[in-house]
Amino acid sequence: MTFVTTRDGTDIFYKDWGSGPPVVFIHGWPLNADAWEDQMKLVADNGFRGIAHDRRGHGRSDQPWTGYDFDTFADDLHDLIEALDLRDVTLVAHSMGGGELARYIGRHGTARVGKAVMVGAIPPVMLKSDSNPEGTPQKVFDTLKDGILNERSQFWMDTAEMFYGANRPGNKVTDGLKQSFWLMAMQESIEAAVACVDAFSATDFTEDLRKFDIPTLLIHGDDDQVVPIDAASKKAAEIIPDATLKIYEGGAHGLANVPGTKDCFNKDLLSFLRS
């Protein structure tokens, strides 16, 4: 397996497929690089170099006790990009990964980045407040942490239902897809799982988004039950200077993996990469 060792000695696992202009995929919580395999093959088959890493505490990467904050995640991504000497890279991020992408640009700029794609992403800020009334109440995040700490295996099985919209009438979500979610989630450490909830719920990425100076594609399902679109991509599209927002009607949070919306996403991704 391939790893990059970060500045603090953490080993980060990554996949590197194909050759051509680089595309780095950043996974959501509580998943890992395997969540992007369909798209990794897609880009590698079409003349691009697909790269996806497991965030620290997830999958095959190290599981340190600390470092589950977006400054650290962004610096890990920076270390990966520097180690592989990637240039003019397209960053593609899902959910919590969108925060990692935003903070990377906020901290490290776009000297090595040509484009960005954010899918069901959390920026600018998830937590409900007086200044963010469309956000998610704190009690929801407390419930997430309680579920992980009380019985995380069953919690992940239950979470897969709304993650992919399997609780909606007429959905096309397979048992295999839900089981793959459970498998990836169980590879995340329990400490990372809980600490990431605090990180992605409360971190404000507004100033990071203002620093975007590259073409950015935002994709979000209007039936996202995990990251509601009104507090996320609709607001981000107003902050990022050169952003295009595509709304998938009936799209779930994990729309890049669900039959139907996956095909639409793959088409939109390739079109954006070639533009």
Query: What would the pLDDT profile of 135-182 be if each residue is shown by its tens digit?
Result: 999 999 999 999 999 999 999 999 999 999 999 999 999 999 999 999
Domain limits for position 132: 2-274
To the nearest whole number, what is the mean pLDDT of the chain? 98
> In this predicted model, what pLDDT tens digit does every residue of 193-219 receive, in sequence order?
999 999 999 999 999 999 999 999 999
What is the mean predicted confidence (pLDDT) over 68-81?
98
What is the mean predicted confidence (pLDDT) over 242-268?
97
- As a whole-number percent, the residues of the chain with pLDDT over 90 amount to 99
**Token reading at 245:** 């927002």
Per residue, what are the HEC states of 35-88?
HHHHHHHHHHHCCCEEEEECCCCCCCCCCCCCCCCHHHHHHHHHHHHHHCCCCC
- For the chain, the C-alpha Rg in angstroms (whole number) is 17
Is there a contact between 123 and 209 (Cβ–Cβ < 8 Å)?
yes
Which of the residues are catalytic?
A: 95, 224, 253
- Supply the pTM of this predicted model: 0.97
> In this predicted model, what pLDDT tens digit does every residue of 4-49 receive, in sequence order?
999 999 999 999 999 999 999 999 999 999 999 999 999 999 999 9
Note the pLDDT of residue 1.
Answer: 85
CATH, residue 118: 3.40.50.1820
The count of domains in the chain is 1
What is the mean predicted confidence (pLDDT) over 116-127?
98
Q: Could you tell me how far CA 144 lies from the centroid of its own chain?
A: 18
